[in-house]
Each structure stands twice: as C-alpha cells, then as structure tokens.
C-alpha cells in the first residue's frame, strides 16, 4: 500500500472515531432530556480532513419522522451575524459609512417614530446599531411581546410594528454609544438600511452580498421573504416547553434580528467563511467586524458577532433564541454549529459546544 493510501486509511479511521464520539454526545443528550425532541450538530475541521454532521431524535414528534442533517431549522439571532456582514460588505463597497447617522439611510417614517419615542436618531450611528450600543429598547426580550406571540402565533408582524412596539413598551437604555444593551430593534433597522442602500430586498441582498453560491449555501433562506430553496428538506420542529412553534409566523423574528432558516452544516460553513475569505474582499473588513466597542456593560460583543472562551480556547460566533449556535475557533480552524430543538433547555447548547470541543481538541493537538 502506498504512503498516500496509508495516510487516507488513517484519516478515515480517525474520522470514524471522532464521529462516534460526537454521535455519542448527541444520543446521550436526547436520552437524558426527554423534553428535547432532537439535536443537530455540524463540525468543520479542515486540519483533520473532517466535515461531519450528526443528529439525534425527531424532526417531528407527531409523525415520528427522524431528524436528519438535511433538516433546516430557524436560526433566530444567529441571523444578526449575516445582517452585520451584509452591512460591512456595503461599507467595503463604499456605499455607506459606519459612522453615518441612521437618519441618512432610514425612511422618514422611521425617524418620526423614533423621535416620538424620545430618541435622537440623528445621533445614532450604524456602528452603534451593529454593536448594540444605540440605546434602543429591545422589543424582542419584552415579556409583553412574548405573551402576544404565544397568544397570536399566526399574527403577521411588520418591521414598523415591531419598532413601534419598542417605542411603546420601554425607554432608552442610555445615550447613543454610552451603554451596551442587546437590541433586536437596532438590527431590524439595519435590515431596513441593507434594503435601502443595496436597492434589493433583504433576502436578495443577503444572498448576493454574502455570496451564498460561493459558500455553497443551498438551503439557507429568509422564510416567506423568498421561496424555500429547491430540494430543501422539511424544517425541524422547535419547541418552547410543550409548545411546538413550527406553525408560528416567522415574522415574529424576521426583519433583520432573526428570520433565516438553515442546516447546521450551512451555519458552520458561513461562520468559517467570514474568517477564511469566503465573504469579505479585504481582511480589514473582518478586523472591523471583530472590533469591540467600548460601551459600558459590553462583555465581548463586536459587530453582529461575539467573542467566547471555551476552556481557554478563543472563539467567535453567535447564539439564538431557538437554542441555535455557530462558532469559529481561529487557532484550530474549527467551526462548530448546531441546535437543540427545545428553547426551554437553553443551557444545553452551550454544554453541547463545550463537550464537542472536548472530543475534538485532542485530535487537533490543543
């Protein structure tokens, strides 16, 4: 047997062992948590010649359909990374400046609503929206909003309706640039800015600016704002406790703060693509995305992406309300993404990420 053949055989053996270890994590998670219908995980580790997708549990409890790696799911706030990257691509193209006041790019009706809500939109910049330092009240974490969604899951929300909800239910967190506070309100305004500056719908703009085709994102899409891509498997059912949210109108989180659906594999591919030249034309754009804005209470959030330490290993990525996550660890050229299909078990996603790294790091020599 040639040296190349021996090497390929060793890679195959090592990959099989890693796959067994990761699959055991997923099987154990579902077995130990009966209220979790299913879990998906994808690992992209080029140094190990290892690209692996695994699942455990069901895509649909009612029919008993088993979950597969092809089943997409709603990403929730992981979408913010995509929207921030689209804004940075427009900046890279010279179509906007990060320190532009948002009044330069928003329709006048939004400016009026913000002013009526006791904000000074002329002092709020795109940079501050990206870094959650605008002071804008977050409708997404308001208990009254959650109650309304549960009471009217089929309601079709508009972007303006959600901005108005924020104005009606909360006060500014602080002056622009003063304090970090997570805000879906800021990101749906960024969604509007993407549309206005690009001249495209948000769905078309993300697809074009973020180079879906180059990255091989064939089953990533904004629900109802564009057709489901051909050949896409049925979306997995995601739960809030006993409530199956599959039929909830996606507009509850659609206009920039959330809204994308994708597989775990495509989430990992996108997150890694940001770092290895798949999205941006210039390295300085990624450096800008990773800049930490010095607002009070900002632990480690950048522009649509956060820093994270997992047992001393530095990573970057995002998580979402539906218990989704996607992180890239530059030191290891490693991307890990997935979802626990039960929102009520929110800590499990972090535990799964940590345990998956525990399986992978010895093979990567770290």
- What structural domains does the chain harbor? 73-360 (3.40.710.10)
Asked whether 113 and 156 are in contact (CB, 8 A), the reply is no
Place of tokens 């809204």: 259
Note the pLDDT tens digit of each residue in 49-80. 999 999 999 999 999 999 999 999 999 999 99
Q: How far is CA 328 from the centre of its chain?
A: 12
What is the per-residue pLDDT for 1?
Answer: 58
Cα 127 from Cα 213, distance rounded (Å): 28
What is the per-residue pLDDT for 9?
Answer: 44
Asked whether 25 and 334 are in contact (CB, 8 A), the reply is no
Cα 234 from Cα 217, distance rounded (Å): 16
| pLDDT < 50 regions, the chain | 4-6, 9-10
Handedness of CA 318, 320, 323, 324 (dihedral sign): negative
Cα 129 from Cα 293, distance rounded (Å): 11
What is the per-residue pLDDT for 6?
Answer: 42
3-state helix, strand, coil in the chain (%, to 5): 45, 20, 35
What is the per-residue pLDDT for 365?
Answer: 86
What is the per-residue pLDDT for 15?
Answer: 82
pTM, 2 dp: 0.96
Tell me the C-alpha to C-alpha distance, in Å, between residue 275 and each of 1, 261, 269, 282, 355.
38, 21, 10, 11, 23
What is the per-residue pLDDT for 4?
Answer: 45
Note the pLDDT tens digit of each residue in 141-172. 999 999 999 999 999 999 999 999 999 999 99
In 3D space, the residue among 98, 126, 102, 96 whose CA is nearest the CA of residue 114 turns out to be 102
Place of tokens 């997708």: 53
What is the per-residue pLDDT for 338?
Answer: 98
Q: How far is CA 125 from the centre of its chain?
A: 22
């Amino acid at each position: 047997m040639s040296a190349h053949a021996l090497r390929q055989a060793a890679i195959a053996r090592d990959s099989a062992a890693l796959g067994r270890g990761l699959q055991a994590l997923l099987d154990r998670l579902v077995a130990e948590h009966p209220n979790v219908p299913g879990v998906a995980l994808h690992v992209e580790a080029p140094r190990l010649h290892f690209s692996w997708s695994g699942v455990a549990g069901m895509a649909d409890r009612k029919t008993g359909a088993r979950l597969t790696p092809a089943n997409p799911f709603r990403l929730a706030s992981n979408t913010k990374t995509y929207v921030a990257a689209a804004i940075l691509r427009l900046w890279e193209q010279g179509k906007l400046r990060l320190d532009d006041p948002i009044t330069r790019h928003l329709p006048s009706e939004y400016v009026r609503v913000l002013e009526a809500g006791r904000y000074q939109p002329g002092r709020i910049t795109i940079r501050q929206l990206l870094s959650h330092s605008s002071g804008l009240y977050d409708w997404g974490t308001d208990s009254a909003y959650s109650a309304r969604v549960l009471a009217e899951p089929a309601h079709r929300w508009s972007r303006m309706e959600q901005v108005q909800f924020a104005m009606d239910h909360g006060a500014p967190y602080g002056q622009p640039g003063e304090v970090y506070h997570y805000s879906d309100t800021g990101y749906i305004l960024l969604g509007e800015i993407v549309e206005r500056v690009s001249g495209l719908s948000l769905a078309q703009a993300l697809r074009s600016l973020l180079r879906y085709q180059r990255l091989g994102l064939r089953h990533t899409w904004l629900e109802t704002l564009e057709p489901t891509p051909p050949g896409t498997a049925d979306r997995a059912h995601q739960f809030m406790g006993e409530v199956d949210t599959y039929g909830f109108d996606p507009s509850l989180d659609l206009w920039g703060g959330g809204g994308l659906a994708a597989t775990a594999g495509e989430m990992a591919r996108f997150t890694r693509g940001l770092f290895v030249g798949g999205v941006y034309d210039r390295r300085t754009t990624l450096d800008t995305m990773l800049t930490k804005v010095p607002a009070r209470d900002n632990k480690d959030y950048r522009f649509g992406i956060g820093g994270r330490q997992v047992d001393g290993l530095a990573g970057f990525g995002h998580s979402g309300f539906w218990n989704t996550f996607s992180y890239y660890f530059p030191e290891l050229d490693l991307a890990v993404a997935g979802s626990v299909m039960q929102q009520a078990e929110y800590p499990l996603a972090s535990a799964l990420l940590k345990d998956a790294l525990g399986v992978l790091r010895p093979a990567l020599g770290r």
